[in-house]
Amino acid sequence: MSPDSPPRSVLDLTAMKAAGRKIVMLTCYDATFARLIAPLVDVLLVGDSVNQVVAGHETTLSATLDQLIYHARAVRRGAPDALLLVDLPFLSYQVSVEEAIRNAGRVLQETGAQGVKLEGGRPMLDTVRALVERGIPVMAHIGLTPQSVHALGGYRVQGRERGAPERMREDARELEDAGAFGLLLELVPAPLAASISQTLRIPTVGFGAGPGCDGQVLVLYDMLGLNETFSPKFLKRFAVLTGAVREAARAYAEEVRAGKYPGVEHSFD
């Protein structure tokens, strides 16, 4: 892998960490956005956050495997060469190792993704190991795990309770030993996330976990400022597109009602 070339496999992400090159990840759910952003980032993630930002649900819990596969196939059509990861949704991998293998294999088979992401620490070790042994690359995910939001008491920073930092460090080490190629750290105190990142050979990607991770991920709709009701401390809006969308819709409606659109130049003889 040359210093400036985009990653083409999950192994390239480890090489990026070794070279001190930050990993840029964004969520993506459709072909149009995939075409726009794929040349600019290192990894596209079809997250189960699609269930919230696109489908309008309160949590990710009702996301389905078919839903994630549908969106991942759309993203792959828009970005045929991108490094693509797909979330395994709730109950697609927790019931049994056998079911996790079947469902993760289906994701790779039907979408062309290069890997899957699943949530959880020590309870998921056997699952991670089984998937990796069968040739299915796995990114692990600890800290705030949205599929466990009710058990965690809501969306809040993890790793602050007595004993929690060391448990998180142990989870990270054991997930690496189980074969995970990377680790997503969500809503983790920055010093803890940095110390975990420094002790692992595999790369970490932070989501509200400070600058010490090997890469960063944001939800595309949040990064573009399309979600006005979501404004956590960790989020930086790199654009605020709600006003532009509303203004375009207002102008369109005004011209249609006034008979200005479509004009002669938009019409066929």
List, by residue number, the catalytic residues: 186
Expressed in angstroms, the distance from the first to the final Cα of the chain is 55
180: tokens are 């995970």
The phi, psi pair for 118, rounded to 5°, reads -135, 155
| CA separation for the pair 204, 215 (Å, rounded) | 6
State the number of CA atoms in the 13 A half-sphere of 212 facing the CB.
16
| CA separation for the pair 269, 251 (Å, rounded) | 26
- 158 contacts: CB under 8 Å, gap ≥ 6: 143, 144, 152, 164, 168, 186, 187, 188
Packed helices 65-78 and 97-111: angle between N→C axes, nearest 10 degrees: 30
Residue type (1 letter), 158: Q
